[in-house]
Structure 1
């Protein structure tokens, strides 16, 4: 039976869904849409499912993939492969839950809006509490994507150092990388970013394939001793002496490389047919998980403990220059997406429910450019403050993607199935399954944060990393 409910002060129609315990927003209801436009407004809803899939692919297959081969050394080949498959499947499911929730609540733009809705639902419409939860979630959401922007900015500064053979101070390269990234990210519509994502995706895949092929040709890794016996360091199990902190941080680096699913939700608001989101999702995640398995295990098998992080430096200085040069468009595209998502979230947050959101006013442009260049700047500062690549990737998983990509989607499931515990055995089993997922999210958050902090401290003590805002070459040339 059709009903009407009020979300964010707007009345939307709800109808029963064929799936048990679910509900679905009527497809022609427009009141709740974030980017509903008038005659004079900018039409943001122009993205087809193929472009959305490419956007998701480039968003995911970015700087994070370059940390996976070194993560496998800390875990061993067997555990590393299992973690890649496990986190890939889990992150795909969490993305499904977020998509289902978005389709049920059309006013949702980011997961922070979802936090507001479920808090209203479970607190008897306590607006103050719901608003507080939205602010907290939005802070974590934007902060997470700023960290992502920082990782990608660091990756681009490493590439510029590698290609130029460290022609100037790394801080200067970092600032140049920030300005390029923020400028590209300032293109307003995802639809118009399609060419950037296509070129970027092709370039990063090509660069990684060059490295993968290059490491299989020599008799020994480029960083290994070139004469005499040497230990490759390839093993099915973790190396002797591996601590929990190091192993869990490595696992979180793998988790982070495909856990950015909270960034998929805003894209749905710009799709022509939001229902096609699941096509885009499955196309993206199947390719991502299978390619991670193939690429990471191949590089680890041939490089062992001599693998570089980022992985593009693993085949020696010549291949490093070539691969980084080819990867530059991909690194720009990946970083641009992070800044674009963080900036647009702030942009919508500031101008929502005003005509400035979709009209070409001075306020519209001033707020938009401030959001993109501002979030990009914060990302650059963060990348300079924590100048080691793998640890920064892992930190994203613990502090950001664990609560946003695991805990919150499981709460969305409980919201969509409020009577699950009182339903048939199938629904009860699902209820306990999602409780277990929520606990996993909390463990990932707290244990992961502990592991990363300890790992970062240990790296500083062992002088394995440089200092913050350093001018030294950060490109990690592995051999001459």
Structure 2
């Protein structure tokens, strides 16, 4: 008799069990939150429109303000080509991630997906990577908020004090248990970062730099060229699974991805070109520092709203992964229990507190963010999506024969995996080299300084 399971105790791709599973996917069986009717706390409430707003708020954030500086490193043409290409590539990988989620309704985060692909070790590695990436994302937003407050106050308070203030606000905003309760803030945040970007472009146009240097292409080293693409690459590393899990109709997630990638790619391209053309090769990172004081304060004041909400979303995401891991399928998920709320509040506090400590106590925090983005975000946005396609094609549609029959998809998935591997290795190398150079040149500051 033919075997009905594989080495991982999963249905063999040609078995009746696998075919039955394929018919059941996407219909709510074993959904991470199950049936929510009558529960006090319901998660599956998001529309695709609100999910797109949340993703724009989280992704088109302070990273946008670094793009003109990146464009100055390589020139307009290479920067635009890479931004558009990576935007299209990210849309393709988003489709693969969403299909995997539809096929496996019980997947809540990358850790769950890692368990399906690689077993218990995969769950722990990808869960840890998601948490680390989210905490570093929170830290980046905290530093952006601190810069905004310092600019608005004319450096009237110690930078560490301002970081504490912004961290407390971020913690409080992260506390709602469901993304539905954050979604309207996310929409407001997306609007504010868009207005911020528009005002930066207007400010640059109203105050062009005399004798500025603008180039279509700029000869540069591999390190500088790679740094120029890390903005658009790592900005696309959205935490899709957690967001999709709280949608009313996960089948609509692709609409949100199209809105996200269409908006972000277009806005990145226009913003980068306009600011670079008016400021030139001396454009600062973030670009607001290249504007006159009044313009810098105005744009920072508006952008600060996004920094706050985006930081809270990252912190919320880290806490949500651990919380669902601890209490999945228990009453603490859907009920207002003392233990549930205490644990949730504690997790949000710890996520924000760790981000604060890293941002204030580690002088090379920005470069370490590049390391974490290279190690995890490059895979989450690109490489691992190819593994999802190969896994489901093999186990749900006919094994090795299905991979051969769908050769184009198999080829694209393989190149996706290789692309993720390249970005991971190259990005880690570049980030570590920057850290070593900073220490060698004495550019590393001291922790908790004003």
Aligned equivalents of 1:424 and 1:148: distance in 2? 37
Structure 1 window deviating more from structure 2 (41-50 vs 420-429): it is 420-429
Distance 1:388 1:92, change over 3 A: farther
Post-superposition Cα deviations, 1:171-229, rounded to whole Å, max 9, x if no partner, equal 111111111101101111111112211221222111221111111123416xxxxxxxx
Q: Give 1:458's aligned residue.
A: 437
Distance 1:171 1:387, change over 3 A: same
Q: Give 1:48's aligned residue.
A: 47
Q: Given that residues 207 and 312 in structure 1 are in contact (C-alpha distance below 8 angstroms), is that contact kept between their aligned partners in structure 2?
A: no
* Aligned alpha-carbon RMSD (Å): 2.8
Shift of 1:28: 4.3
Distance 1:276 1:15, change over 3 A: farther
Shift of 1:446: 1.4
Distance 1:386 1:77, change over 3 A: farther
Q: Give 1:169's aligned residue.
A: 158
**2:275 is equivalent to residue 299 of structure 1:** yes
Post-superposition Cα deviations, 1:92-130, rounded to whole Å, max 9, x if no partner, equal 1111111110111110000210111123xxxxxxxxxx1
Aligned equivalents of 1:10 and 1:29: distance in 2? 19
Q: Give 2:77's aligned residue.
A: 78
Q: Give 1:39's aligned residue.
A: 38
Shift of 1:361: 0.7
User: Aligned with 1:432: secondary structure?
Assistant: helix
Aligned equivalents of 1:392 and 1:85: distance in 2? 26
Q: Give 1:435's aligned residue.
A: 414
**2:232 is equivalent to residue 254 of structure 1:** yes
Post-superposition Cα deviations, 1:300-351, rounded to whole Å, max 9, x if no partner, equal 1111222121122221222111111122211111111111111111111111
User: Aligned with 2:406: secondary structure?
Assistant: helix
Q: Given that residues 71 and 250 in structure 1 are in contact (C-alpha distance below 8 angstroms), is that contact kept between their aligned partners in structure 2?
A: yes
Q: Give 1:124's aligned residue.
A: none
Q: Given that residues 422 and 428 in structure 1 are in contact (C-alpha distance below 8 angstroms), is that contact kept between their aligned partners in structure 2?
A: no
1:35-434 aligned within 5 A = 36-37=35-36, 39-119=38-118, 130-220=119-209, 230=211, 232-239=212-219, 242-258=220-236, 260-261=237-238, 263-386=239-362, 391=367, 394-418=370-394, 419=398, 422-423=401-402, 427-434=406-413
Shift of 1:432: 2.4
Aligned equivalents of 1:67 and 1:162: distance in 2? 17
Distance 1:161 1:444, change over 3 A: same
- Higher helix proportion, which one? 2
Post-superposition Cα deviations, 1:21-72, rounded to whole Å, max 9, x if no partner, equal x945355444333354363441111111111111111111112212211111
Shift of 1:284: 1.4
Distance 1:208 1:47, change over 3 A: same
Shift of 1:447: 1.3
User: Aligned with 1:34: secondary structure?
Assistant: coil
Shift of 1:466: 3.7
The partner residue of 2:446 within 463, 467, 476 is 467
Shift of 1:249: 2.1
Shift of 1:448: 0.7
Post-superposition Cα deviations, 1:353-385, rounded to whole Å, max 9, x if no partner, equal 322122111111111111111111111222224
Aligned equivalents of 2:162 and 2:57: distance in 1? 23
User: Aligned with 2:206: secondary structure?
Assistant: coil
Post-superposition Cα deviations, 1:63-89, rounded to whole Å, max 9, x if no partner, equal 221221111112211111111112111
Distance 1:16 1:286, change over 3 A: farther
User: Aligned with 2:152: secondary structure?
Assistant: helix
Distance 1:98 1:106, change over 3 A: same
TM-score using structure 2 length: 0.90
Aligned equivalents of 1:296 and 1:429: distance in 2? 34
The partner residue of 1:446 within 398, 401, 425 is 425
Aligned equivalents of 1:14 and 1:33: distance in 2? 21
Q: For structure 2, list consecutive stretches of 5 or more residues without a partner in the other structure.
A: none
User: Aligned with 1:417: secondary structure?
Assistant: helix
Distance 1:37 1:448, change over 3 A: same
Q: Given that residues 385 and 416 in structure 2 are in contact (C-alpha distance below 8 angstroms), is that contact kept between their aligned partners in structure 1?
A: no
Distance 1:411 1:73, change over 3 A: same
Q: Given that residues 385 and 413 in structure 2 are in contact (C-alpha distance below 8 angstroms), is that contact kept between their aligned partners in structure 1?
A: no
Q: Given that residues 25 and 105 in structure 1 are in contact (C-alpha distance below 8 angstroms), is that contact kept between their aligned partners in structure 2?
A: no
Aligned equivalents of 2:127 and 2:141: distance in 1? 21
Distance 1:220 1:359, change over 3 A: same
